[in-house]
Amino acid sequence: MSVNEHLIRDLVKKNGRNRTALIPILQGVEEAKNYISDSDMIEIAKELDLSAAQVYGTATFYSFLSTEPLGKYVIRVCKTITCDMHGKKTIIQTIEEMLKVKVGETTPNKKFSLLETNCLGWCHEGPAMLINEKPYTGLTPERVHDIISDYINKY
Amino acid sequence: MSESKLRRVDLIFGEYSSAKYKVLEETLKRSNEDILVDLRESNLRGRGGAGFPTGTKWKLAADAPGKEKYVICNADEGEPGTFKDREILTRVPRKVLSGMAICGRVIGAKKGIIYLRGEYKFLLPELNREIEQYNDFMAKLGFEFPIEIKLGSGAYICGEESALFESLEGYRGEPRNKPPYPTTHGYMGKPTVINNVETFVNVVMIMRLGPIQFKLLGTSDSRGSKVFSVSGDTPIPGIYELELGMPLDRFVEEFGDGDTKAVQVGGASGFCVPRKKFTETVIGFEGVPTGGSMMLFNSSRSMYNVLHNYLVFFEEESCGQCTPCRVGCQQLRKGILAVKKGDKNSHYLDQLIKLAESMKITAKCGLGQSVGNSFSSIVQNFREEMIY
Map out the domains of chain B with their CATH numbers.
Answer: 2-212 (3.40.50.11540), 225-298 (3.10.20.600), 303-387 (1.20.1440.230)
CB pairs under 8 A between A and B: 118
The domain limits of chain A are: 3-59, 73-154
The minimum CA-CA distance between A99 and chain B, rounded to whole Å, is 23
- Regarding predicted confidence, which is higher, B14 or A115? A115
- CA–CA dist A20, B312 (Å, integer): 31
Task: Note the pLDDT of residue B347.
Answer: 97
- Check A117 against B154: CB less than 8 A apart: yes
Residues of chain B positioned with their CB less than 8 A from the CB of A59: none
B positions 292-351 inside 8 Å of A (CB): 293, 295, 301, 305-306, 309-310, 312-313, 316-317, 319
Helical packing angle, B93-107 and B54-63, nearest 10° = 40
Task: Identify each DSSP E strand in chain A by its residue range.
Answer: 73-78, 112-117, 129-131, 134-136
Among candidate residues A87, A136, A117, the one with its CA nearest the CA of residue B156: A117
Which SS3 state, helix, strand or coil, does residue B113 take? strand
- Check B86 against A121: CB less than 8 A apart: yes
* Strand B111-116 to B147-151 pairing: parallel
Task: Note the pLDDT of residue A1.
Answer: 60
CATH code matching the domain that covers A73-154, chosen among 3.40.50.720, 3.50.30.40, 3.40.30.10, 3.30.1280.10:
3.40.30.10
Mean predicted confidence (pLDDT) in B9-18: 81
Mean predicted confidence (pLDDT) in B290-297: 93
First to last CA, chain A: 30
Residue B298: what are its φ and ψ, rounded to 5°? -100, 180
Give B219's pLDDT tier (boundaries 50, 70, 90).
confident
- Check A64 against B118: CB less than 8 A apart: yes
Q: In what order do the strands lie in the sheet with B192-196?
A: B147-151, B111-116, B70-75, B192-196
Max CA-CA distance within chain B? 70
Among candidate residues B60, B37, B75, the one with its CA nearest the CA of residue B198: B75
Share of chain A above pLDDT 70, in %: 99
Nearest to B173 among A22, A61, A134 (CB): A61
- Check A61 against B172: CB less than 8 A apart: yes
Residues in chain B: 388
- CA angle, B272 then B277 then B280, to 5°: 120
Mean predicted confidence (pLDDT) in B83-95: 96
The minimum CA-CA distance between A78 and chain B, rounded to whole Å, is 11
- Chain B CA closest to residue A55: B171
Q: Kindly state whether B144 is in contact with chain A, defined as any CB-CB distance less than 8 angstroms.
A: no
Which SS3 state, helix, strand or coil, does residue A39 take? helix
Q: Which residues pair with A16 in a beta bridge?
A: none
Give B161's pLDDT tier (boundaries 50, 70, 90).
very high
- Chain A CA closest to residue B120: A133
Share of chain A above pLDDT 90, in %: 95
Q: In what order do the strands lie in the sheet with B293-298?
A: B238-243, B225-232, B293-298, B260-265, B271-274
Which pTM was predicted? 0.96
| pLDDT tens readout for residues B164-217 | 999 999 999 999 999 999 999 999 999 999 999 999 999 999 999 999 998 888
- Check A62 against B169: CB less than 8 A apart: no
Mean predicted confidence (pLDDT) in B121-128: 97
Mean predicted confidence (pLDDT) in A12-21: 97
Give B1's pLDDT tier (boundaries 50, 70, 90).
very low
The minimum CA-CA distance between B143 and chain A, rounded to whole Å, is 25
Share of chain B above pLDDT 90, in %: 87
Which SS3 state, helix, strand or coil, does residue B191 take? coil
- CA–CA dist B12, B297 (Å, integer): 27
- Check B230 against A27: CB less than 8 A apart: no
- CA–CA dist B37, B202 (Å, integer): 15
* Strand B70-75 to B192-196 pairing: parallel
Q: Which residues pair with B337 in a beta bridge?
A: none
Mean predicted confidence (pLDDT) in B246-251: 94
Residue A115: what are its φ and ψ, rounded to 5°? -130, 160
CATH code matching the domain that covers A3-59, chosen among 1.10.287, 3.40.50, 2.60.40, 1.10.10:
1.10.10
- Check B232 against A24: CB less than 8 A apart: no
Task: Note the pLDDT of residue B11.
Answer: 85
Q: pLDDT at residue B322 above 50?
A: yes
Task: Note the pLDDT of residue B250.
Answer: 95
Task: Note the pLDDT of residue B2.
Answer: 39
- CA–CA dist A70, A36 (Å, integer): 10
